[in-house]
Amino acid sequence: MHTVSTRIFCCAAAFAASLLAMPATAHANGIAAPDNPFAGLFAEAANAPKNVQWDVYMTGYAHHGRSTYTGKQISKMNEQTLGAGLGRTLRDKRGNDESLYVIGMRDSHERAQWMAGYAYQWIFPVKHTSMEVGMGFSALMIRRHDWHGGRPFPAVLPVASIGKRDAQLLATYVPRISNNSKTKGDILLVMLKMAL
């Protein structure tokens, strides 16, 4: 069951990513194919290629809240969440970033976790440097073996970053789900995002 849902999620994410990169095309009979509903994210690519970039994501660390998990649970958790992903980022006219991404990584139980989503970050340049700080949110679909029977589910999470335009250290925070249980505590996930 889990293998089937993973394959379905991966196929759907790959299909969505291919649609995002595909422009509208005209057929031989003169009828145009429908426009991509997400074309606005990539519309500036033809006019200003420097504003749109492909990104590679490298996951690596998940800190499990020491006050929301028991010591026994933490000793069994994987905090080296190795994985990778691919995305596309648009630096809009206001200087903020809009991104689409697909990421696969090892979760806290050493099992596959898949994420696909959209992120928006307000970017704040650091004076007298080429560094910048970003704060925003990500709306995404997550697929884990231990949530919702292994089926993808939606989430909205905060996102923060520090770095330069072409290389950023990203962090997102997953809050504790329930105060009555220590089975699903809070997690700080850290990853690297680099332009291709």
- Residue 67, SS3 per DSSP: coil
In a domain? residue 33: no
Q: Rounded to an integer, what distance in angstroms lies between the CA atom of residue 153 and that of residue 187? A: 17
Neighbours of 91 (CB within 10 A): 17
Task: Give Cβ neighbours of residue 107 (< 8 Å, ≥ 6 apart).
Answer: 78, 81, 113, 144, 145
Q: Rounded to an integer, what distance in angstroms lies between the CA atom of residue 181 and that of residue 25? A: 53
Tell me phi and psi for residue 72, to 5 degrees. Answer: -65, -40
In a domain? residue 96: yes
pLDDT of residue 27: 47
The CATH number covering residue 83 comes to 2.40.160.20
In a domain? residue 186: yes
Q: Which of 137, 125, 119, 116 is nearest to 162 (CA)?
A: 125
Which residue in the list 99, 108, 138, 161 is annotated as catalytic? 108
pLDDT of residue 24: 44
Active site residue 18: no
pLDDT of residue 135: 97
Q: Rounded to an integer, what distance in angstroms lies between the CA atom of residue 63 and that of residue 79? A: 6
In a domain? residue 32: no
Q: Rounded to an integer, what distance in angstroms lies between the CA atom of residue 11 and that of residue 103? A: 13
Active site residue 128: no
In a domain? residue 92: yes
pLDDT of residue 45: 46
Domain extent, residue 50, equals: 2-24+38-195
Which residue in the list 99, 107, 138, 161 is annotated as catalytic? 107
Half-sphere exposure of 116 (CA within 13 A, CB side): 16
Q: Which of 90, 94, 164 is nearest to 131 (CA)?
A: 164
In a domain? residue 30: no
- DSSP letter for 111, please: S
In a domain? residue 133: yes
Count how many domains the chain has: 1
Q: Residue 101 has which token pair?
A: 């991404």
Whether pTM > 0.85 for this model: the answer is no
pLDDT of residue 178: 62
In a domain? residue 31: no
Which residue in the list 64, 92, 145, 146 is annotated as catalytic? 64
* One pLDDT digit (tens) per residue for the chain, 196 residues: 455 455 555 555 555 555 445 444 444 555 555 666 666 555 544 554 578 999 999 998 888 877 777 888 888 887 888 999 999 999 999 999 999 999 999 888 788 889 999 999 999 999 999 999 999 999 999 998 877 788 899 999 999 999 999 999 999 998 877 665 555 778 889 999 999 9
